Amino acid sequence: MAKARTVDQIAKFKNYRSLDLTNKVYQLKALRLAQEFSPIHPYIIELGSADDSFLDLVKDKLKGTGIGLDLTKGDDLEEPLKIKSNSVDLALALELIEHLFDTDSFLTEIHRVLKPEGILILSTPNLASLSNRLRLLFGGYPKYLEYSTKGAGHIHPYTPRILLSQLESSGFQITKFTSPNFLCPFITKTWFPLPLKELCLALGDWLPSLGSHLLIVARKP
């Protein structure tokens, strides 16, 4: 079953383009966080990098180097990473952990490859978002939680408390907990006013536990 699911995911994301700062506001905020917290000229890995287009943007902005690892390139992200221990300054894992079976090993491997004081920026949908709480209250089904294999392949949904706890159990210190969007359903529309978009991004800092996605900056001590 797991092998069939893997084959299905490779086919689904084979021609997937990663970079889309308009629709993927978590990328926009993750880029800003990378610029704020990453060391100068970092060595970067992106896990679940697809075509590396977002990674290339981050490398350009930070004047860094690095590589992308992805299922479509033959990388099994639930196996030991083919990267030296203590060699990475910045690891990116955006909208990936919810697709994996063995999330403990995944986080342990990221911790291993990061240098001391290295940074992980991770995002995942928030099962406990305000919109999901309202959906459940009125008998609806939570967004991003899947009951069929025909979906995007989400396996493990996260709430803020569980994600933060798992990161700390994996040896990380939480540097920043935020969300890219709080209750702005039209934030990805091209006509959405930029000042309101910035307000929604800022509200994610103030009320991250209710935001649409969880966005964490974690440090390896």
Residue type, position 178, single letter: T
Residue with tokens 């890219």: 180
Structure tokens at 7: 């084959």
Domain of 12 in residue numbering reads as: 2-219
Query: Is residue 29 over pLDDT 80?
Result: yes
Predicted TM-score of the model (pTM):
0.92
Structure tokens at 138: 């009125």
pLDDT tens for each residue of 78-127 = 999 999 999 999 999 999 999 999 999 999 999 999 999 999 999 999 99
- Which ranges of 38-157 would DSSP assign to H, the alpha helix? 53-62, 103-113, 130-137
Number of domains in the chain: 1
Q: Which CATH number do you get for residue 192?
A: 3.40.50.150
pLDDT tens for each residue of 148-184 = 777 777 899 999 999 999 999 999 999 999 999 887 8
Tell me the C-alpha distance between 150 and 146, whole Å: 9
**Those residues with Cβ within 8 angstroms of residue 48's Cβ, 6 or more apart along the chain or in another chain:** 69, 70, 71, 77, 93, 94, 95, 96, 99
